[in-house]
Structure 1
């Protein structure tokens, strides 16, 4: 028996695929079995042997990414030259009404980036939720870009062009009053 962070890091040190490591670590955090802080602490106590890939895989998770696809998006955004933003933060309108929790949020220009996989959005409930979310974005005046996860690796240059174009579109209009915290 070992605590979850220890078990995750022990397993990660034995794996050789960054995607596998990232998926396992993200799953443990997303399902709230442990936190990124606990994984970091465990990595720091593990010494150096076999920790290079787990350390690399943990970086996007520390920034707020929740999956391998979001980690790919995190890397792509960092290379884009666009300003920093927030991963998986809830956003609200000026009255405190919840809008969404975008995969990525650039608060500077009120721009949302969603990494929308067919698998998680194709069933009737998932599709309904995605359409409702996009309607809330539109009603709030938010520019949103949706990207398929596979394109992050197969068409990274095209995705970066789309990101820059969507960012410019968000920059060109008055920023809507969108908040990262609910108004009390």
Structure 2
């Protein structure tokens, strides 16, 4: 039996809901025959795929939307991946926000989350409604128990300008407080200038030392005459020490390494001491990293080390 659902293929990738086809294209008997003969398959209750085999991520998302209804919104890790984020936790379940009056229940790969507060800034991607990045980050963070994962999500979302600190804070303040502690901590780090999870970890390392002054994160630096200088990840202003996090991801191309060397040389030429740390060292050997920074700082204090560098004054 050939069934024409060409009108739904492009939009819904061959995934259909029962009320879209029965009575219009198929009879109940024809649908049962297609399923029994394994030409079609049941994906979720009353949701079918007009093919056999494993569904793609896009087909799963369409199926979840059809199952939960037009008012539902995809949130959680799957929504973050759909928005193009790299640092989203692994989760086979699709988290769907539905109005609190909706009677649909979790089934298969769909986890239903009833709410009185649907996202006010959803994004439509074809047949799927995505919660905004801010809402998806907040919903995902509340289910996380790992600060490192939450840091990575928050830092990526802000650094890549997929959302803002203000919108993330609005989500925190509007949503449930339960499970929000890690995101509040990560958001505070990003608001202070931290731009990545390794930077946040390095910030924590420096803050636990009573020997170090406050470290400035991603500050705008200039020469004494006012010429712009490269922005280090961290900066200890009184002795001119720059802290740099050198990740493999950032240096995956030869040009990236050249840029790092160029930054290093410029800062050094103006009297700065530049200390480089890899994320691996920051996470695996925090005591060694702390000791290196403290010893370098104390030596610069003893020797009277200074840099011909100052913080850029804010615009009047």
Match of 1:152 among 282, 287, 292: 282
Deviations 1:59-100 (A, max 9, x none): 321221111101110110101221102111121111222221
RMSD of aligned Cα (Å): 2.0
Q: Find out whether 1:72 has 2:162 as its counterpart.
A: no
Query: Could you say what secondary structure the match of 1:150 adopts?
Result: helix
Instruction: Look at both structures and tell me which one has the larger radius of gyration over its CA atoms.
Output: 2
2:268 equivalent in structure 1: 138
Q: CA deviation at 1:38?
A: 2.6
Q: CA deviation at 1:18?
A: 2.2
Please identify which structure carries the higher helix content. 1
Higher relative contact order, structure no. (Cα contacts within 8 Å, ≥ 6 residues apart): 1
1:19 equivalent in structure 2: 148
My pick for the range that moved more, 140-149 or 4-13, is: 4-13
Distance 1:51 1:113, change over 3 A: same
Cα distance in 1 for residues equivalent to 2:289 and 2:143: 33
Cα distance in 2 for residues equivalent to 1:166 and 1:38: 39
Q: Find out whether 1:32 has 2:149 as its counterpart.
A: no
2:73 equivalent in structure 1: none
Cα distance in 1 for residues equivalent to 2:243 and 2:146: 27
Q: Find out whether 1:43 has 2:172 as its counterpart.
A: yes
Query: Could you say what secondary structure the match of 1:21 adopts?
Result: helix
Q: Is the 1:96–1:182 Cα contact (8 Å) retained in structure 2?
A: no
Q: CA deviation at 1:182?
A: 6.5
Q: Which runs of 5+ in 2 are unaligned?
A: 1-121, 123-130
Cα distance in 1 for residues equivalent to 2:164 and 2:205: 24
Q: CA deviation at 1:6?
A: 2.4
